[in-house]
Amino acid sequence: MVETVIELKGVEKTFRDFWMRPLAQAVRGLDLEVRRGDVFGLIGPNGSGKSTTIKMVLGLIRPTRGTVRLFGLDPRAKAARTRLGYLPELSHLHPFLTAEETVLYYAGLSGMKRAAARARTAELLEELKLSHVRRRTVGGFSKGMARRVAIAAALVASPELLILDEPTSGLDPIGTREVKELVGRLAAGGMTVLLTSHQLFDVQDICNRVAVVSAGRQVGGGVVADIVAAARDKRHALEEYFEERLNAQKDEQ
């Protein structure tokens, strides 16, 4: 049975200023469905509404129109929110905390008991290949290592759904590969993932389904394997598809 984890129907979001004058129409009518076991990529140029969409899924902001359901519930419901882990676009770790203290801190925030938090933190640091640096302060970590600590923090309460906003942005090729391998392992273990990226090469490798957004509208999307099968240049299939969809959108305007 297909289980829907995230569902957006006709979602629009207009940001307004203090006087309620519209500032930006960030999302202009989006339908999305993320199913259990998906590694779903939301792709689009900068400013196309990806982070705004994610904030609505997290229940941090409310849509101007349309509905968002998370595990079939209102995203602001505690019963829904406690089932997901989130990596923000810019994650600031405290530079003077060790890797272990950082993850334990987030375990505490999500209300885990101390013994369970310790066991889960040790298990995660092992899984994310951070055990050997667990007593080192994260201020001295490479960007790739710091990103993995932030992902460990998002995973500490054993969520069913992991939401990653630009998980590979600003990382060098090694850091990027580490994060991609991690997402691959999580997906193989059955984790449902929603991620955003503008690095299409990475998305092609790790996502099974994508949606292409441009200026707050969905302009394409589908099963990655189908997109690759239809492409001339298999290695750059998603880039090819992405450019074709964005150009088709421009022609319509």
Ligand X SMILES: Nc1ncnc2c1ncn2[C@@H]1O[C@H](COP(=O)(O)OP(=O)(O)O)[C@@H](O)[C@H]1O
Supply the minimum distance, in Å, between the C-beta of residue 34 and ligand X: 17
- Measure the CA–CA gap between 246 and 130, rounded to whole angstroms: 40
Closest CB to ligand X among residues 15, 113 = 15
Interacting partner of 214 out of ligand X, Mg ion, none (Cβ under 5 to 8 A depending on kind): none
Least Å distance, CB 165 to Mg ion, is 6
Give least dist CB 51 to Mg ion, A.
3
Give, as one character, the DSSP assignment of residue 198.
Answer: S
Which CB, 57 or 125, lies closer to ligand X?
57
In three-state form (DSSP H/G/I as H, E/B as E, the rest C), the secondary structure along 73-142 is ECCCCHHHHCCEEEECCCCCCCCCCEHHHHHHHHHHHCCCCHHHHHHHHHHHHHHCCCHHHCCCEHHHCC
Residue 163 is encoded by which pair of tokens? 């939401």
Comparison of 28 and 120: residue with beta carbon closer to Mg ion: 28
Which residues neighbour 154 within 8 Å (Cβ) at sequence distance 6 or greater? 85, 86, 87, 106, 162, 163, 164
Angstrom distance (rounded) from CA 31 to CA 211? 10
Is residue 51 close enough to count as binding Mg ion by CB under 5 A? yes
Letters for 45-84 (x = contact with ligand X by CB under 6 A, - = none) are: -xxxxxxx--------------------------------
Cα–Cα distances in angstroms (integers) from residue 108 to residues 100, 113, 154, in the given order:
12, 7, 12
3-state secondary structure 4-55: EEEEEEEEEEEEECCCCCEEEEEEEEEEEEEECCCEEEEECCCCCCHHHHHH
**Closest distance of CB 83 from Mg ion, Å:** 23
| Residue 218 within binding range of ligand X, rule CB under 6 A | no
Which amino acid is present at 222?
G
Q: Indicate the residue among 23 and 229 with the shorter CB distance to ligand X.
A: 23
Among 3, 10, 23, 95, binds ligand X (CB under 6 A): 23
Among 6, 32, 43, 44, binds ligand X (CB under 6 A): 44
Least CB distance to ligand X at residue 198 (A): 8
Select the span of 16-24, 47-55, 95-103, 216-224 touching Mg ion (CB under 5 A). Answer: 47-55
170 binds, among ligand X, Mg ion, none (CB under 5 to 8 A by kind): none
Q: Is 208 near Mg ion (CB under 5 A)?
A: no
Looking at residue 58, its amino acid is: L
**Residue closest to 158 by CA, chosen among 129, 115, 123, 206:** 123
Shortest approach of ligand X to residue 52 CB, angstroms? 3
Per CB under 6 A, residues contacting ligand X are: 15, 23-24, 26, 44, 46-52
